[in-house]
């Protein structure tokens, strides 16, 4: 262990002891250890399996920042592949609103949410997870799309300065959350400090609509919704901290209320509005993938509809059609597809409108094209009320 790390951990331990959290943390470590012990004996590396997988073609996926998706095919060419991904973990200070409120975020690849990964059913996802040496905490990754060993969490715990390579087979098509899950209290702490993202596992033959007819989307966006629990001082001002983890005791108190101070899309208030708005054209079919790693939410496209919605995220299910609002359960991702019919600025919101307008969960989609007066028109401009 590096000197800096051991000093940091020592000071963290002293801090936890002083705040009465040490016992809880020991308990947490014990619970996590039991879960790991349960997962570890089952893991037997098999050279025959490795030899078979070694015959497959390998491709490297270049990750991009949300709301964008990495370059990908919708219908897979050829058979299964090994898709290599490098996922660095950054602990970094982020501003989460226009007032300069700060969070020491725990991130995959430096963004909240982490980057969208896209593979096809039958592919192998080979992730090199890197915990940068400048970080202070232990991290790992639990893929809801993966099978076994706590979604990979039990096989991917790493200290600052370490990396681990985890490979898993994508056998379930759909959209799924991934998140850090280092054990007990650290699980909600890391997830509510931004450490989550999503993966899309497409059927090899591509997507099908509600009638079972194949279709493709023209664009796709990833909206990762994040609840933050920022501590306030006695005057009600949001507190600032020196380094990642320093808000631990205060943040746990706010988290216990279950009432977020911020509920945002893509890491901050306004990350997807104004100049950062998502874009589309009339006639384009757009997919919106929405994730929330810990809390229920209910996306709604104001002025449009969820024409095809995989609410629970499984592409094995027939999509629902023409939903006004759909539910994304905490700990899941869902997908919605809409073909735009009118130009204008659409608001894409969490339709708990308090969370949308007062806590930050609003995005915009700017759509260019020709107005369809048949679908809507203003018959009379606003004016004085007239006697009828
Ligand atoms: Cu973590």
Residue 255 has pLDDT above 70, yes or no: yes
190 is catalytic: yes
Active site residue 305: no
Catalytic position from the list 116, 137, 180, 255: 180
Please give the distance, rounded to the nearest whole angstrom, from the Cα atom of residue 385 to the centre of ligand 1.
Answer: 59
Question: pLDDT of 1-14, one tens digit each?
Answer: 444 444 444 444 44
What is the Cα–Cα distance from 317 to 55, expressed in whole angstroms? 32
Q: Is 107 a catalytic residue?
A: no
Distance between terminal CA atoms of the chain? 82
Indicate if 186 belongs to the active site: no
Distance 175 CA to ligand 1 centre (A): 21
Q: What is the mean pLDDT of residues 86-108?
A: 98
For residue 150, CA distances in Å to 106, 179, 183, 193, 210 come to 20, 11, 11, 20, 33
Is 120 known to be catalytic?
no
Looking at residue 24, its pLDDT comes to 44
Size (the chain), residues = 388
Cis status, amide bond into 67, omega within 30 of 0: yes
Span from the CA of 190 to the centroid of ligand 1 (angstroms):
5
Alpha carbon distance 56, 171 (integer Å)? 16
Alpha-carbon distance of 181 to 156, in angstroms, equals 10
Please give the Cα distance from 328 to 229 (Å, whole number): 20
Catalytic residue among 25, 116, 195, 255: 195
Q: How confident is the model at residue 40 (pLDDT cuts 50, 70, 90)?
A: low
* Annotated catalytic residue, options 52, 296, 324, 368: 324
Percent of the chain surpassing pLDDT 70: 89
| pTM, full prediction | 0.90
Domains of the chain: 3-45+57-203 (2.60.40.420), 221-244+260-368 (2.60.40.420)
Distance 182 CA to ligand 1 centre (A): 6
For the question of residue 179 being annotated catalytic, the response is yes
Q: What is the 3-state secondary structure (H, E, C) of 150-192?
A: HHHHHHCCECCCCEEEEEEECCCCEEEEEECCCCCCHHHHHHC
């Amino acid at each position: 262990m590096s000197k800096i790390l051991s000093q940091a951990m020592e000071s963290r331990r002293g801090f936890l002891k002083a705040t009465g959290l040490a016992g809880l943390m020991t308990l947490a470590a014990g619970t996590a250890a039991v879960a790991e012990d349960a997962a570890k004996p089952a893991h037997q590396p098999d050279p025959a399996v490795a030899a078979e997988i070694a015959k497959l073609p390998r491709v490297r996926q270049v990750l991009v920042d949300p709301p964008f998706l990495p370059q990908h095919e919708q219908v897979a060419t050829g058979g299964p592949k090994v898709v290599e991904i490098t996922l660095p973990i950054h602990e970094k200070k982020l501003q989460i609103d226009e007032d300069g409120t700060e969070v020491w975020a725990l991130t995959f690849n430096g963004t909240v949410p982490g980057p969208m990964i896209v593979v096809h059913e039958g592919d192998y996802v080979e992730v090199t997870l890197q915990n940068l040496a400048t970080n202070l905490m232990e991290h790992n990754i639990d893929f809801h799309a993966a099978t076994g060993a706590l979604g990979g969490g039990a096989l991917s715990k790493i200290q600052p300065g370490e990396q681990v390579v985890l490979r898993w087979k994508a056998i379930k098509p759909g959209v799924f959350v991934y998140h850090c899950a280092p054990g007990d209290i650290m699980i909600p702490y890391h997830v509510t400090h931004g450490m989550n993202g999503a993966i899309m596992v497409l059927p090899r033959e591509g997507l099908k609509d509600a009638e079972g007819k194949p279709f493709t989307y023209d664009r796709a966006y990833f909206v990762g919704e994040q609840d933050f629990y920022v501590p306030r001082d006695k005057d009600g001002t949001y507190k600032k901290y020196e380094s990642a983890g320093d808000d631990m005791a205060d943040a746990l108190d706010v988290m216990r209320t279950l009432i977020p101070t911020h509920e945002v899309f893509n890491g901050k208030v306004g990350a997807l509005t104004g100049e950062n708005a998502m874009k589309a054209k009339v006639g384009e079919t757009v997919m919106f993938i929405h994730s929330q790693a810990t809390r229920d939410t209910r996306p709604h496209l104001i002025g449009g509809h969820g024409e095809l919605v995989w609410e629970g995220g499984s592409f094995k299910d027939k999509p629902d059609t023409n939903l006004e609002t759909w539910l994304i359960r905490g700990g899941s991702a869902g997908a919605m597809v809409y073909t735009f019919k009118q130009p204008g600025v659409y608001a894409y919101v969490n339709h708990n409108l308090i969370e949308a307008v007062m806590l930050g969960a609003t995005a915009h989609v700017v759509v260019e094209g020709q107005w369809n007066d048949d679908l809507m028109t203003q018959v009379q401009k606003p004016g004085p009320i007239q006697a009828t």
